[in-house]
Amino acid sequence: MTTKTILTVDDSRTMRDMLRISLEHAGFVVLQAEDGVHGLEVLAGAVPDVVITDINMPRMDGFGFIEAMRRDQAHRSTPILVLTTESDTDKKARARQAGATGWIVKPFDPVKLVHAVRRVSA
């Protein structure tokens, strides 16, 4: 079984740390970015198996990041999970239109998060 690589994009250092610990504990390799612009920089040199992104971030929000990622042929089919405090139906619809695969509301349950990552990366 090959090790899967996950990119997490979140402006909160605490959230990035929690994601990294949860995902590394489950055996994933974790790449991290602190906003959408940084996320695209990381993607320029990596092809993760799954991306987990926040919506509300400085410089480039999650919607812009997802849209930019989907325009790149190399990342067109990469699963994207949105991890956010938002639970608004319109925002979920907008994320899906942008190309998100799924939606997880913060605070997240590490077991459910790992399960969701495994499911979309299978």
**Residue 81 is which amino acid?**
L
pLDDT for 85: 87
Separation CA 119–CA 114 (nearest Å): 9
How would you write the pLDDT of the chain (122 residues) with one tens digit per residue?
Answer: 579 999 999 999 999 999 999 999 999 999 999 999 999 999 999 999 999 999 999 999 999 999 999 999 999 999 999 998 878 899 999 999 999 999 998 899 999 999 999 999 98
In 3-state terms the chain splits into helix, strand, coil percentages (rounded to 5) of 45, 20, 35
pLDDT confidence of residue 119: 95
* Tokens representing residue 10 in the block: 């979140």
Give residue 1's pLDDT. Answer: 55
Query: Domain-by-domain residue ranges, the chain?
Result: 5-121
Amino acid at 20: R
45: DSSP letter = T
**Full-prediction pTM beyond 0.75?**
yes
Strand residue runs (E) in the chain: 5-9, 29-33, 50-53, 80-84, 102-105
| Multiple choice CATH, 5-121, 1.10.10.60, 3.30.365.10, 3.30.930.10, 3.40.50.2300 | 3.40.50.2300
